[in-house]
Chains A and B, each alone.
Chain A
C-alpha cells in the first residue's frame, strides 16, 4: 500500500517506481530483454483507498524515455502522456484515488505498442471506502512476450512466466472466498480470456460497482480491459485455470489452483 502518511487530515500514499531495462525469464530457460517497472513484468501492484491522495515518484533509470500513464480521473499534466521523462530524469505524479475499482498503469511514450509490449505496465487498485469482504486476494495479469520480435507472441503468461502456476500451483483454502484482480495486457492479440475449471465466479467489470454483473466460468477481455472475479472452491483437489483461447493456454497461459482442506 506504499508509504502511508497523514497530511492536513487526509491519507497520502507515496510510491516510488523505477523504470529500468532488465532481462526477465518469460518461460523456463527463455530470457527476454524487457523494459520494466522495478525490474519486474508486470510492475508492482499499487493500491489505495477511494479518496486517498496518491503520490508516485517516477525515476527513469532505463535507456529510453518513458512515462507512467494511470487509468483514473486526474489533471492533464498527471496523465503521463505529454511530460516525457528522459533517461536519468524523474517526475512526480499526484492525484486523488478515484473512482474505486481495478485500474492499470503503463508507459505512454511513443511508439506506444513497443513501450507496452516490452513490459512497462502494472495494476493499480482503488478499494471502495467501505472496503470489500475479506478474501484471499491475488492479481493476475494476462500478457505475452514477442521473444523474436516478429510482432507475434511466442509465449503467453499470467504474471510473467509461462506455465509458472502449473509448476507452482496457487494454494487456496476450501470454502474461502478468493478474489482475483484480472487484467489483460496482451499485445498483438486483440483478446485474451480466463476460464476456471469445476467452478463459477461472480464478475465485476472494472471493479467499479459492488454488485456483480455476471455469474460465469469464462470471461473474455479486450486489450486494457480488466475486472474482479470472486469464487470459492467447495472441494479439495487440483483445479486448472487457463485462457480459453486454447493456443494461449498451450503457449504458457495455464495453471492450477491447489485447494486444500
Chain B
C-alpha cells in the first residue's frame, strides 16, 4: 500500500490497470467462497421461492391450450399438475417440467374447449403452490399465415396510417390561419401530446405489472422513458446543423416518431386483444380509432404551417406517425411479449415527452418575441382543446 500512495496521481502504468482489477478480484473470491460454503444466512427450513408468471394463454387449435410462462423467481419451478376448470388434465412441456430461474416455456394442454366460454387454468407445482391463468373468452388464436398477416396489416393501417394522413390533409386549411390561430394549433398539439404521454405511461405501467417481479417493470418504464427523453434532448442539436434552432420540419418528424411509437403501443394492444379473442374490432372501433388519431395528423403538421415542405415529406410523416401501428399489430398478434410491449411503450412515452418540450419551446419563443403571456387565452384554450378532444374520442376506443 505504501507504494501505491507514493505513485504520482495521473501516472497510469500497467500497475494502474491492476488497481482497477482489485475490487473485481475481491468480488470473485467472495463469490467463490459463497458458492462453495454458503453465505451463512441460508435457511433450510423454508420452502423454495416460486414465482411463475403467465404471459399468455393461446388456443392454436380447437383441442389445445398453450400456456406461456416465465419463472421470475430465484429458484427453479417444477410444474407437476395442470388444472383446467376444476379438473386435472394431462399436459406436455417439451423442455421438461422444470423451468429454470428467469426461464420461459410453453405448457401444452390437450383440451377440447368450447368457443365463447371462459376457462380458469391453475398450474400446480411440486410443492403444491398454484399459479392461475385465465381465458376470458375462448376463441381460436389466429396463427401466422398470409391471410392473417394482411388482416393485421389492414387493422394497423386503419388505426394508424389512415387517421394520421387524414389529419395532415388539414395542412392547407391551417396554414391560412393567422399567428394566434397557429399558436392555438401548436397548443392543441401540446395538449394532444400530454394526453398521449399520460395514456402511454399508464398503458406501459399496466403491462409492466404483468411482468415477473424480477424484471422490475415499473422502474423499467420510468427509467426507459427518462433515458429516451434525455437521449433525444441530447441528440436534438444534431438536427440543428449549425443553426440556432432545429428546423421546423425535423420537429415535425420527431413528433411523428413519438406519435408513431405511441401508435405502435396501440397496435400491440389491439393485436394482442384481437389474437386472444378479447375484442372483435368491429366497425365502431375502427371508426373510433380514426376519430381518435386524426388529431395526431394535425399535431404533426403544426410546426411546419409557416413552411413549404415538399409533398413527399407528408407521405413520410404519415408513414412514420401511423405505420408503426401496423408493426404493433403484427408483434402483438403473432409474438406477444409483455417485456417487449413495456419497452416499446416506455420508449414511446419518452419520445412524446421530448416533443412536448420542443413544441412548448416554439410557443414560449413566440410569446417572448411578441411579449404576450405564455399562458394566453389562445394557448390555454388550445391545450385544453387538445386534451379534451383526445379524452372524448378515447371513449370510443377502449379495447
B is bound to A: yes
Residues of chain A in range 238-261 having any CB-CB distance to chain B below 8 Å: 247, 250-252
A250–B87 Cα gap in the complex (Å)?
5
Interface 9-residue window, one of B75-83, B207-215, B329-337:
B75-83
| A30 and B128 form a contact (CB under 8 A) | yes
Across-interface contacts of A252 in B (CB, < 8 A): 88
Name the one of B78, B87, B97, B124 contacting A147, with C-beta atoms under 8 angstroms: B124
Query: A155 CA to B128 CA in the complex, in Å?
Result: 10
Is residue A29 within 8 Å, beta carbon to beta carbon, of the partner chain? Answer: yes
> Which range contains the number of A residues in contact with the other chain?
20 to 34
Q: A28 and B81: CB pair below 8 A?
A: yes
**Chain B: which residue is nearest A154 at the CB level?**
B124
Instruction: Please name all residues of chain A whose beta carbon is closer than 8 Å to the beta carbon of B130 when the two chains form the complex.
Output: 147-148, 150, 154
Interface size class of B (residues with CB under 8 A): 10 to 19
A26 beta carbon closer than 8 Å to chain B:
yes
A 152-194 binary contact with B (CB < 8 Å = 1; else 0): 0011000000110000000000000000000000000000000
Complex Cα distance, B122 from A165, in Å, reads 23
Judge whether B129 and A147 touch: CB under 8 Å: yes
The reply to whether B88 and A163 form a contact with Cβ atoms under 8 Å apart is yes
Name B125-168 residues within 8 Å CB distance of A.
Answer: 125-130
Contacts of A150 in B (CB 8 A): 130
CB distance from B126 to the nearest CB of A (A): 5
Per-position 1/0 for A128-153, Cβ under 8 A of B: 00000000000000000101101000
Question: Closest residue of chain A to B128, judged by CB?
Answer: A147
CA distance A251 to B88 in the complex (A): 5
Contact A31–B127 (Cβ < 8 Å): yes
Residue ID in chain A nearest B84 by CB atoms: A250
Contact A30 B87 (CB under 8 A): no
Which residues of chain A are near B124, meaning CB under 8 Å? 27, 30, 147-148, 154-155
Q: Which residues of A contact B (CB under 8 A)?
A: 26-33, 145, 147-148, 150, 154-155, 162-163, 247, 250-252
Using A148-B124, A247-B86, A247-B87 as known contacts, list a sample of 9 further A-B pairs with CB atoms less than 8 Å apart, ordered by residue number in A. A28-B81, A29-B80, A30-B81, A31-B128, A145-B128, A147-B124, A154-B122, A154-B128, A251-B88
Instruction: List 11 A–B pairs whose Cβ atoms lie within 8 Å, in order of A's numbering.
Output: A26-B128, A28-B81, A29-B78, A30-B124, A30-B127, A30-B128, A148-B130, A162-B88, A163-B88, A250-B86, A250-B87
